[in-house]
Structure 1
């Protein structure tokens, strides 16, 4: 199982948020975000921030860095190496299974990810048998172009997607197109755009807080 960092918002967590970082970062990247989230103290949560494995990244001249999958080109189509992509999806499933073994109901687990990590989160959420609580996909896109519309994933899955309108790394058009494709596959997407680059804004943090709180207030 992937090494990870855990942050609990209270004792005896009743829900888990598994949050994947972006290319070249590590699990510490979003660890500091937890105190900024406005969450109810009555619903203790466990935030799990895994570290991506080290591997060469083709578009960075083969430089070895933490990466969820190899990026083969700057073009969105054919950009992701399928083998390493699906391997990371399997790693995310292991983390989900581990939370279930620890006593967290699968319907109380949110899968989240930023940038490259968001691509893994989207694919895992929409291609798995889990009845998770929600999908949080930030400044990201569909890493693999295909979506299995016959997936057992429930079509009422709460999905929050957001992107910066000035993102120079992953164009906002990629995010919009990905959200549209997910909607066309039968899902409902709560889409947000912010005046920012490839990062997270304070307004976005507040919107994420509200979304997470709404989900757990209905479940627990």
Structure 2
């Protein structure tokens, strides 16, 4: 049940691959969906030397949907910041994400040439990946994303002061009614207070969705963090 679904790939468009981006979709979506969504926002979301991976979350029971089966990275008690994280569910997806990164490592791409990011729940998974499971990554990005108030990510950062972590790019719409802007801002400020360096961009008149401007910010940031080498 914890195995990842289909893996969709945007291949590097010219030079030899020297870096990888892993883009996690939101709850109930798929890798194919987020790949197409990103392509519609920025037609050329590709890089000469970077392979972009769009994995699909495992199909599993999802508590906020009444226990119905859904493609989600992890289960949670509710879509609010004040509930405890389901750490057993996060531990199962940790194994899968680490395997995905190891596959890239084994192919010659070190962790410091890998960026992880995602939309909504996918961004939350990216937080756990870069700030708990592989601190050597080149960067973390999150669009319309969150961490719960007592997240294990915060505990990890509190217990490892002085450690260097990947830089963060966070983007959020000011009309998001599923993950309110305040929740995203609180997540960013908490991470920043615990030593994470990064940037936060607010997108005007944007709900719980991607937009062209935000994806362009992500693309330019990837170009900066993963230069051709």
TM-score, normalization by structure 2: 0.86
Which residue in the other structure is 1:206 paired with? 216
Higher mean alpha-carbon deviation, 17-26 vs 3-12, is at 3-12
Which residue in the other structure is 2:151 paired with? 145
SS, match of residue 6 in structure 1: strand
Which residue in the other structure is 2:136 paired with? 131
Q: Give the Å deviation of 1:37.
A: 6.2
Task: Flag structure 2 segments of 5+ consecutive residues without an equivalent.
Answer: none
User: Does structure 2 conserve the Cα–Cα contact (< 8 Å) formed by 1:125 and 1:135?
Assistant: yes
User: Does structure 2 conserve the Cα–Cα contact (< 8 Å) formed by 1:25 and 1:66?
Assistant: yes
Q: How does 1:68-217 map to 2 (within 5 A)?
A: 68-78=73-83, 80-143=85-148, 145-146=151-152, 147=154, 148-149=156-157, 150-151=159-160, 154-155=163-164, 157-195=166-204, 196-217=206-227
User: Does structure 1 conserve the Cα–Cα contact (< 8 Å) formed by 2:175 and 2:207?
Assistant: yes
User: Does structure 1 conserve the Cα–Cα contact (< 8 Å) formed by 2:22 and 2:117?
Assistant: yes
CA distance, structure 2, for counterparts of residue 25 and residue 40 of structure 1: 21
Instruction: Classify 1:37/1:211 alpha carbon distance in 2 versus 1 (closer, same or farther; 3 Å).
Output: farther
Across the two proteins, how many residue pairs are aligned to each other?
A: 218
Indicate the RMSD between aligned Cα atoms, in angstroms.
2.2
User: Does structure 1 conserve the Cα–Cα contact (< 8 Å) formed by 2:130 and 2:166?
Assistant: no
Which residue in the other structure is 2:20 paired with? 16
CA distance, structure 1, for counterparts of residue 99 and residue 78 of structure 2: 28
SS, match of residue 226 in structure 2: helix
Which residue in the other structure is 2:32 paired with? 28
